[in-house]
A and B are shown apart, each in its own frame.
Chain A
């Protein structure tokens, strides 16, 4: 199985900060990666797919980049609503695995 490793596991930041979350894969994914946001007690929400395609309705402050084994999710200016846990998911090779999550906390 492809192992997905996110860093950091926890990130403390302030409203207005620019933050970046990294996701590394144990083998090449090409562009086959998605990012999700999850808030406590809620279902995940799709943010990005095919590494950099913004899902409809997702604010433009979210962006994704990367290819192969290293990918990033960037939030250009943190808003109060963005404090949540973020997961990457690869869908290059079955089983489609998730990273362990990055919890974005208010500093």
Chain B
């Protein structure tokens, strides 16, 4: 079945970097984009951006520009999100999610249909 499996939780100190992985299976990885969404404790959802597994193109949220990098490795069907210069307000659950529609239907964003289980990132001194 189609699934995304994320790496385990992380505890980081302020100023450090974190890299979260998202292993895809059950579908043609290069056909879809992968987005990253985070949710601070007790808060709503924030789309951080997404990366096309088809051509590597990225779109990042403006408030994260310069601190975030999203990549894909088609040989291992894995997506990665690296966040640098961590601050306490980066403490959140980080989700990867598949973007629909697939690339062969155009460069569109209709929503996110398959989600990873989430990775908790805690930033604390």
Interface of A with B (CB < 8 Å)? 34, 36, 38, 43-46, 49-50, 55, 87, 89, 91, 94-101
Contact = CB atoms under 8 A, between A and B. Distances in A.
Interface string B32-56: 0000010000001111000000000
Main secondary structure of the interface of A (DSSP, over half): loop
15 contacts: A34-B111, A36-B112, A38-B45, A43-B115, A44-B97, A44-B115, A45-B115, A49-B111, A89-B45, A89-B111, A91-B110, A96-B47, A96-B109, A97-B47, A99-B44
A46 B61 CA distance: 21
Contact of B44 (A49, A91, A96, A101): A101
Nearest to B59: A94
A49 B100 contact: yes
Given A38-B45, A43-B116, A95-B47, 10 more contacts: A36-B45, A36-B112, A43-B117, A44-B115, A46-B112, A49-B100, A49-B110, A87-B44, A98-B46, A101-B45
A69 B95 CA distance: 28
Contacts of B112: 34, 36, 44, 46
Contacts of A50: 110
A50 B46 CA distance: 19
A44 B44 CA distance: 11
Main secondary structure of the interface of B (DSSP, over half): strand
B118 interface: yes
A93 to B, nearest CB: 11
Given A43-B115, A44-B115, A100 B110 contact: no
